[in-house]
Amino acid sequence: MDLAYTPEEEEFRARLRAWLTRTLPLLPPKPSPDDWPARRAYDLGWQRRLYDAGYAHVHWDASPTVRLIFLEETERAGAPYVGANFVGLLHAGPTIAAEGTPAQRERWLEPILKGEEVWCQGFSEPDAGSDLASLRTRARRDGDVYRVTGSKIWTSHAEVADWCELLVRTDPDAPRHQGITWLAMPMDAPGVTVRPLRTLAGSAEFAEVFLDDVPVPVANRVGAENDGWRVTMVTLSFERGTAFAGEVVACRRVLAELAREAHGNGRWDDPALRRRLGRLEAEFRALWRLVQWNVGEATENGVPGAGGSVFKLRYSHARQQLYDATADVLGDAALDLDRPWVLERLSSLSYTIAAGTSQIQRTIVAQRVLGLPKGR
């Protein structure tokens, strides 16, 4: 067991840290969290800076350890999140890189890395959330286009996206997991309607997307027809690997700020609250170690293991506990939407739902990790 980094990794860290120190003061002021056009411009501007400095590729071809260092250092320095670029950089991009043709890689990868095009994810449907395989959006082959009809939901950043990684059903008679195809759909195609949805936090983060006979070129299909489920699973396993590493660093910072706030407002004198914060500190220390452990596994075995589901289950719950603790520290101020942490507390409620609910994750752990029989 060894938690030390190699000299090359330490050099990467030092170089990145120096670059962040030079670059972050040059950034424009952060836009309001609700202003998505402004956030798109801001997030893509940050991506362009990463590209010019040679860091754009980190998520794609660096070792898991270097990627971990990247996430740790950018978060520690308070650098912007991937934000609007999330799906392109962490999901559609890696999928196209792994499964796309040379022409497809040529067309789509560089604009993602340079921060020129934004992607959204057209996976979930009103009747197909965590049960993704029951999706019903139809695509009918018509010459050299697919004609797509149906609707998608919970589509983050849809109104500012240029492309949508779309899962459609191309063979309605095939078993559920077969008959699905992965398409890159231009968001300005005729027949695409985006209706923003308001979250319980009051913001318009995601949208419903209605598709009415939308023509999508067959050339935009990634992978074979009816092979979309496998194409998707390739990238979903990566999403559950180190995707939350930066967030754990952020939670640790919030927790330290919370302790200082409690110390300042007198709540620190309550031993029950102090111990609760101490327990959260244990939790986030351990989650950071679990990230490192998973990275070690990925380094050894080449792919992130089932540790991703273990991590996601625990982390999503811990994040909610952290923000619930902010309410006990803030007291009445926890009801004021203009105070720090109040919106994050509301947003944290999505963590046990998005990217596979906690219940789905438990079933995955029980069946795939512990080998319990499939059942009802």
Partner 1 sequence: MRFQLTDDQRALRAGVREVLARRFGPDALRAAVARPGLDRELWRALGEAGFFALRLPEARGGVGLGLPEAVLAFEEAGRASLPGPLLGTHLAAGTVPGAAEGETVVAVVDGALVEWWDEADVVVGEGGAGAVPMRSVDPLTPLRRVPDAVACTADPVAVLLTAAEQLGTATRACELAVGHARTREQFGRPIGAFQAVQHLCADLLVRTEVARSAVYAASVTGDAADAAAARVLADEAAAQGARDCLQVFGGMGFTWEAEVHLLLKRAWVRARRSGGAEQSEELLARALLSGTD
- Determine, following the binding rule CB under 8 A, whether residue 264 of this chain makes contact with partner 1: no
For partner 1, the closer of residues 198 and 260 by Cβ is 260
Contact pick of 38, 286, 334, 354 for partner 1 (by CB under 8 A): 286
Q: What is the 3-state secondary structure (H, E, C) of 263-293?
A: HHHCHHHCHHHHHHHHHHHHHHHHHHHHHHH
CA-closest candidate to residue 111, choices 99, 96, 121 = 96
Contact pick of 18, 127, 279, 321 for partner 1 (by CB under 8 A): 279
Contact pick of 28, 299, 335, 346 for partner 1 (by CB under 8 A): 299
Contact pick of 16, 310, 325, 343 for partner 1 (by CB under 8 A): 310
How far, in Å, CA of 302 to CA of 120, rounded? 27
- Determine, following the binding rule CB under 8 A, whether residue 107 of this chain makes contact with partner 1: no
Tokens coding 166? 């779309």
Helix (H, G, I), strand (E, B) or coil at 76: helix
Is there a catalytic annotation at residue 239?
yes
The stretch among 36-44, 166-174, 258-266, 341-349 that binds partner 1 (CB under 8 A) is 258-266
How far, in Å, CA of 246 to CA of 159, rounded? 26
Q: What is the 3-state secondary structure (H, E, C) of 306-364?
A: CHHHHHHHHHHHHHHHHHHHHHHHHHHHHHCCCCCCHHHHHHHHHCCCCCCCHHHHHHH
How far, in Å, CA of 152 to CA of 166, rounded? 9
Q: At which residue do the structure tokens 């149906």 appear?
A: 150
How far, in Å, CA of 140 to CA of 136, rounded? 12
CB distance 163 to 187 below 8 Å: yes
CA-closest candidate to residue 117, choices 164, 77, 74, 151 = 164
CB of 233 to partner 1, least distance (A): 20
Give the containing element (helix H, strand E) for 139: strand 138-142
- Determine, following the binding rule CB under 8 A, whether residue 303 of this chain makes contact with partner 1: no
Contact pick of 162, 281, 324, 344 for partner 1 (by CB under 8 A): 281
- Determine, following the binding rule CB under 8 A, whether residue 24 of this chain makes contact with partner 1: no
Residue 242 CA, distance from chain mean position: 10
- Determine, following the binding rule CB under 8 A, whether residue 7 of this chain makes contact with partner 1: no
For partner 1, the closer of residues 17 and 230 by Cβ is 17
- Determine, following the binding rule CB under 8 A, whether residue 249 of this chain makes contact with partner 1: no
- Determine, following the binding rule CB under 8 A, whether residue 11 of this chain makes contact with partner 1: no
How far, in Å, CA of 50 to CA of 226, rounded? 36
- Determine, following the binding rule CB under 8 A, whether residue 224 of this chain makes contact with partner 1: no
Tokens coding 171? 């063979």
* Catalytic site residue from 9, 116, 239, 247: 239
Please list the residues that pair with 208 across neighbouring strands: 195
Region of residue 23 (left: phi > 0; alpha: psi -120 to 50; beta: else): alpha
Binding mask 61-80 for partner 1 (x = CB under 8 A): ----x---------------
- Determine, following the binding rule CB under 8 A, whether residue 376 of this chain makes contact with partner 1: yes
The stretch among 133-141, 192-200, 292-300, 337-345 that binds partner 1 (CB under 8 A) is 292-300
Print burial letters for 286-310: b (CB count within 10 Å at least 16), e (below 16).
ebbebbbbbbbbbeeeeebbbbbbb
- Determine, following the binding rule CB under 8 A, whether residue 289 of this chain makes contact with partner 1: yes
CB of 308 to partner 1, least distance (A): 12
For partner 1, the closer of residues 163 and 284 by Cβ is 284
CB of 43 to partner 1, least distance (A): 29
- Determine, following the binding rule CB under 8 A, whether residue 302 of this chain makes contact with partner 1: no
Residue list 330-369, contact with partner 1 (CB under 8 A):
359, 361-363, 365-367, 369
For partner 1, the closer of residues 204 and 360 by Cβ is 360
For partner 1, the closer of residues 33 and 296 by Cβ is 296
Count residues contacting partner 1 (CB under 8 A)? 55
Catalog residues that contact partner 1 under the rule CB under 8 A: 1-6, 9, 65, 255-256, 259-260, 263, 268, 271, 274-279, 281-283, 285-287, 289-290, 292-293, 295-297, 299-300, 307, 310, 313-314, 359, 361-363, 365-367, 369-376
Active-site residue set: 239
